[in-house]
Protein backbone atom coordinates (compact mmCIF):
# COMPACT_ATOMS: atom_id res chain seq x y z
CA UNK A 1 0.00 0.00 0.00
CA UNK A 2 2.84 2.37 0.89
CA UNK A 3 4.73 1.54 -2.29
CA UNK A 4 1.55 2.10 -4.30
CA UNK A 5 1.24 5.63 -2.85
CA UNK A 6 4.82 6.32 -3.83
CA UNK A 7 4.28 5.05 -7.37
CA UNK A 8 1.10 7.11 -7.77
CA UNK A 9 2.95 10.28 -6.84
CA UNK A 10 5.79 9.38 -9.19
CA UNK A 11 3.31 8.66 -11.99
CA UNK A 12 1.74 12.09 -11.45
CA UNK A 13 5.19 13.61 -11.82
CA UNK A 14 5.83 11.71 -15.05
CA UNK A 15 2.45 12.67 -16.49
CA UNK A 16 3.06 16.34 -15.78
CA UNK A 17 6.57 16.26 -17.25
CA UNK A 18 5.18 16.51 -20.76
CA UNK A 19 3.44 19.84 -20.08
CA UNK A 20 4.95 23.25 -20.74
CA UNK A 21 6.45 25.49 -18.01
CA UNK A 22 7.00 22.66 -15.54
CA UNK A 23 9.93 22.62 -13.14
CA UNK A 24 11.37 19.19 -13.96
CA UNK A 25 13.78 19.36 -11.03
CA UNK A 26 10.86 19.85 -8.64
CA UNK A 27 9.05 16.96 -10.28
CA UNK A 28 12.01 14.64 -9.87
CA UNK A 29 12.48 15.77 -6.28
CA UNK A 30 8.83 15.18 -5.38
CA UNK A 31 8.96 11.78 -7.06
CA UNK A 32 12.00 10.95 -4.96
CA UNK A 33 10.12 12.11 -1.84
CA UNK A 34 7.22 9.82 -2.67
CA UNK A 35 9.52 6.83 -3.10
CA UNK A 36 11.32 7.74 0.13
CA UNK A 37 7.99 7.75 1.96
CA UNK A 38 7.67 4.02 1.37
CA UNK A 39 11.14 3.39 2.77
CA UNK A 40 11.46 5.95 5.57
CA UNK A 41 13.82 4.70 8.28
CA UNK A 42 12.95 4.91 11.97
CA UNK A 43 15.42 7.79 12.33
CA UNK A 44 13.82 9.68 9.45
CA UNK A 45 10.32 9.12 10.84
CA UNK A 46 11.43 10.42 14.25
CA UNK A 47 13.09 13.46 12.69
CA UNK A 48 9.91 14.31 10.77
CA UNK A 49 7.88 13.73 13.93
CA UNK A 50 10.09 16.15 15.86
CA UNK A 51 9.52 18.88 13.26
CA UNK A 52 5.79 18.17 13.01
CA UNK A 53 5.33 18.18 16.78
CA UNK A 54 7.28 21.43 17.11
CA UNK A 55 5.02 23.06 14.53
CA UNK A 56 1.89 21.73 16.26
CA UNK A 57 3.17 23.20 19.55
CA UNK A 58 3.70 26.60 17.91
CA UNK A 59 0.11 26.63 16.73
CA UNK A 60 -1.36 25.49 20.08
CA UNK A 61 -1.90 27.12 23.45
CA UNK A 62 0.25 25.06 25.82
CA UNK A 63 -0.59 24.91 29.52
CA UNK A 64 2.16 26.64 31.57
CA UNK A 65 4.19 24.82 34.21
CA UNK A 66 2.08 26.19 37.08
CA UNK A 67 -1.23 25.22 35.46
CA UNK A 68 -3.39 22.66 37.29
CA UNK A 69 -3.54 20.76 33.98
CA UNK A 70 0.24 20.49 33.80
CA UNK A 71 0.46 19.47 37.44
CA UNK A 72 -2.08 16.73 36.84
CA UNK A 73 -0.27 15.57 33.71
CA UNK A 74 3.07 15.49 35.53
CA UNK A 75 1.51 13.11 38.06
CA UNK A 76 0.07 10.95 35.28
CA UNK A 77 3.37 10.96 33.38
CA UNK A 78 5.24 9.82 36.49
CA UNK A 79 2.86 6.89 36.80
CA UNK A 80 3.13 5.89 33.12
CA UNK A 81 6.91 6.32 32.82
CA UNK A 82 9.27 8.54 30.88
CA UNK A 83 9.90 6.37 27.84
CA UNK A 84 8.15 4.25 25.23
CA UNK A 85 10.24 1.17 24.54
CA UNK A 86 13.41 3.24 24.85
CA UNK A 87 12.06 6.39 23.19
CA UNK A 88 11.93 9.29 25.69
CA UNK A 89 8.37 10.43 26.35
CA UNK A 90 7.59 14.14 26.43
CA UNK A 91 4.19 15.26 27.73
CA UNK A 92 2.31 18.55 27.27
CA UNK A 93 -1.27 19.81 27.61
CA UNK A 94 -3.01 21.81 24.88
CA UNK A 95 -5.62 24.23 26.20
CA UNK A 96 -8.67 23.49 24.06
CA UNK A 97 -12.21 22.25 24.60
CA UNK A 98 -11.63 19.42 22.12
CA UNK A 99 -11.55 15.90 23.55
CA UNK A 100 -8.41 14.28 22.17
CA UNK A 101 -4.91 12.98 22.83
CA UNK A 102 -2.18 11.74 20.53
CA UNK A 103 1.45 10.68 20.33
CA UNK A 104 4.11 10.69 17.63
CA UNK A 105 6.99 8.35 16.90
CA UNK A 106 9.53 10.64 18.61
CA UNK A 107 7.74 10.26 21.97
CA UNK A 108 5.83 13.54 21.69
CA UNK A 109 2.62 13.02 23.74
CA UNK A 110 -0.10 15.65 23.80
CA UNK A 111 -3.38 15.63 25.71
CA UNK A 112 -6.13 18.24 25.35
CA UNK A 113 -7.55 20.01 28.37
CA UNK A 114 -11.05 19.10 27.16
CA UNK A 115 -10.23 15.44 27.64
CA UNK A 116 -8.75 16.10 31.09
CA UNK A 117 -11.91 17.99 32.07
CA UNK A 118 -13.97 14.96 31.07
CA UNK A 119 -11.85 12.22 32.63
CA UNK A 120 -10.26 11.22 35.92
CA UNK A 121 -6.49 10.78 36.21
CA UNK A 122 -6.92 7.02 35.97
CA UNK A 123 -8.93 7.37 32.77
CA UNK A 124 -6.35 9.72 31.25
CA UNK A 125 -3.71 7.12 32.11
CA UNK A 126 -5.66 4.55 30.14
CA UNK A 127 -6.05 6.86 27.14
CA UNK A 128 -2.38 7.87 27.08
CA UNK A 129 -1.35 4.24 27.48
CA UNK A 130 -3.33 3.57 24.30
CA UNK A 131 -1.58 6.38 22.44
CA UNK A 132 1.80 5.15 23.66
CA UNK A 133 0.82 1.75 22.29
CA UNK A 134 0.47 3.19 18.79
CA UNK A 135 4.07 4.42 19.10
CA UNK A 136 5.51 1.26 20.63
CA UNK A 137 3.82 -1.00 18.06
CA UNK A 138 4.98 1.02 15.05
CA UNK A 139 1.54 2.32 14.08
CA UNK A 140 2.61 5.98 14.20
CA UNK A 141 5.59 5.17 11.98
CA UNK A 142 3.25 3.77 9.33
CA UNK A 143 0.93 6.76 9.72
CA UNK A 144 3.88 9.11 9.10
CA UNK A 145 4.76 7.22 5.92
CA UNK A 146 1.20 7.61 4.65
CA UNK A 147 1.09 11.31 5.60
CA UNK A 148 4.45 11.95 3.95
CA UNK A 149 3.33 10.13 0.79
CA UNK A 150 0.29 12.40 0.58
CA UNK A 151 2.44 15.49 1.04
CA UNK A 152 4.85 14.31 -1.67
CA UNK A 153 1.97 13.58 -4.08
CA UNK A 154 0.51 17.04 -3.54
CA UNK A 155 3.94 18.60 -4.14
CA UNK A 156 4.25 16.64 -7.39
CA UNK A 157 0.84 17.80 -8.59
CA UNK A 158 1.79 21.42 -7.89
CA UNK A 159 5.26 21.22 -9.41
CA UNK A 160 4.04 23.15 -12.47
CA UNK A 161 4.35 26.21 -10.23
CA UNK A 162 7.86 25.32 -9.22
CA UNK A 163 7.02 24.30 -5.64
CA UNK A 164 10.17 23.28 -3.75
CA UNK A 165 10.53 19.81 -2.37
CA UNK A 166 11.34 20.91 1.19
CA UNK A 167 8.48 21.25 3.69
CA UNK A 168 7.35 24.72 4.70
CA UNK A 169 5.89 25.54 8.10
CA UNK A 170 2.39 25.19 6.68
CA UNK A 171 3.28 21.78 5.21
CA UNK A 172 4.75 20.68 8.55
CA UNK A 173 1.52 21.77 10.24
CA UNK A 174 -0.48 19.89 7.63
CA UNK A 175 1.69 16.82 8.15
CA UNK A 176 1.08 17.04 11.90
CA UNK A 177 -2.67 17.36 11.38
CA UNK A 178 -2.66 14.26 9.19
CA UNK A 179 -0.91 12.33 11.97
CA UNK A 180 -3.25 13.61 14.69
CA UNK A 181 -6.29 12.65 12.58
CA UNK A 182 -4.83 9.36 11.32
CA UNK A 183 -7.36 6.52 11.21
CA UNK A 184 -5.83 3.32 12.51
CA UNK A 185 -7.16 -0.09 11.52
CA UNK A 186 -9.37 -2.20 13.75
CA UNK A 187 -6.43 -4.49 14.47
CA UNK A 188 -4.14 -1.58 15.34
CA UNK A 189 -6.72 -0.05 17.69
CA UNK A 190 -7.23 -3.38 19.45
CA UNK A 191 -3.48 -3.87 19.76
CA UNK A 192 -3.08 -0.40 21.27
CA UNK A 193 -5.89 -1.16 23.74
CA UNK A 194 -4.12 -4.33 24.86
CA UNK A 195 -0.80 -2.47 25.08
CA UNK A 196 -2.41 0.09 27.38
CA UNK A 197 -3.88 -2.65 29.57
CA UNK A 198 -0.52 -4.42 29.83
CA UNK A 199 1.31 -1.15 30.54
CA UNK A 200 -1.14 -0.19 33.29
CA UNK A 201 -0.78 -3.61 34.92
CA UNK A 202 3.01 -3.45 34.66
CA UNK A 203 3.11 0.01 36.26
CA UNK A 204 0.72 -1.01 39.06
CA UNK A 205 -2.09 1.19 37.74
CA UNK A 206 -5.75 0.15 37.95
CA UNK A 207 -6.81 -0.80 34.35
CA UNK A 208 -10.43 0.01 35.20
CA UNK A 209 -9.74 3.56 34.03
CA UNK A 210 -9.30 2.25 30.50
CA UNK A 211 -12.79 0.74 30.67
CA UNK A 212 -14.49 3.87 31.98
CA UNK A 213 -12.64 6.09 29.51
CA UNK A 214 -14.16 4.01 26.71
CA UNK A 215 -17.58 4.33 28.35
CA UNK A 216 -17.29 8.12 28.33
CA UNK A 217 -16.01 8.19 24.75
CA UNK A 218 -18.90 5.96 23.67
CA UNK A 219 -21.32 8.60 24.97
CA UNK A 220 -19.48 11.32 23.07
CA UNK A 221 -19.45 9.25 19.88
CA UNK A 222 -23.21 8.94 20.06
CA UNK A 223 -23.57 12.72 20.21
CA UNK A 224 -20.75 13.33 17.67
CA UNK A 225 -18.89 15.50 20.18
CA UNK A 226 -15.58 13.71 19.64
CA UNK A 227 -13.91 11.72 16.89
CA UNK A 228 -11.39 10.15 19.24
CA UNK A 229 -11.33 6.34 19.06
CA UNK A 230 -14.17 6.52 16.53
CA UNK A 231 -12.82 3.75 14.30
CA UNK A 232 -14.02 0.15 14.62
CA UNK A 233 -14.45 -1.58 16.98
CA UNK A 234 -16.78 0.81 18.81
CA UNK A 235 -15.80 2.08 22.24
CA UNK A 236 -18.49 -0.01 23.96
CA UNK A 237 -17.04 -3.20 22.47
CA UNK A 238 -13.54 -2.16 23.41
CA UNK A 239 -14.62 -1.49 26.98
CA UNK A 240 -16.12 -4.99 27.11
CA UNK A 241 -12.86 -6.52 25.87
CA UNK A 242 -10.87 -4.87 28.66
CA UNK A 243 -13.51 -5.90 31.22
CA UNK A 244 -13.02 -9.49 30.09
CA UNK A 245 -9.26 -9.21 30.45
CA UNK A 246 -9.65 -7.77 33.94
CA UNK A 247 -12.03 -10.57 34.91
CA UNK A 248 -9.70 -13.24 33.54
CA UNK A 249 -6.64 -11.70 35.16
CA UNK A 250 -4.75 -12.04 31.88
Q: Which residues are catalytic?
A: 131
Please state, in angstroms and rounded to a whole number, the distance separating the CA atoms of residues 227 and 180. 11
Three-state DSSP state, 102: strand
* Sign of the dihedral defined by the CA atoms of residues 208, 89, 172, 30, in that order: negative
Cα separation, 4 vs 241, whole angstroms: 35
31 three-state secondary structure: helix
d(CA 23, CA 40): 25
> Distance between CA atoms of 182 and 164, rounded to whole angstroms?
25
Q: What is the DSSP letter of 240?
A: H
Residue 15 CA to residue 36 CA, distance in Å, equals 19
90 beta partners: 108
Q: Sign of the C-alpha dihedral, residues 157, 159, 165, 170?
A: negative
Whole-number Å distance between alpha carbons of 209 and 80: 13
Residues 85 and 103 sit within 8 Å (Cβ to Cβ): no
Residue 90 CB burial class (10 angstroms; 0-12, 13-18, ≥19)? middle
Amino acid sequence: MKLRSALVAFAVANALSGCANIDSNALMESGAQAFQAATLTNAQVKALSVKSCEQMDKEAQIAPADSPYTQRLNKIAAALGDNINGTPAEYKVYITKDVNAWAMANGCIRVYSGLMDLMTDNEVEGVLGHEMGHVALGHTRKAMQVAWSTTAARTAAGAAGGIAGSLSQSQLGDLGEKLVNAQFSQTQESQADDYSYDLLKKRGIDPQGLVTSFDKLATLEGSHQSTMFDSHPASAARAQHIKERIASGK
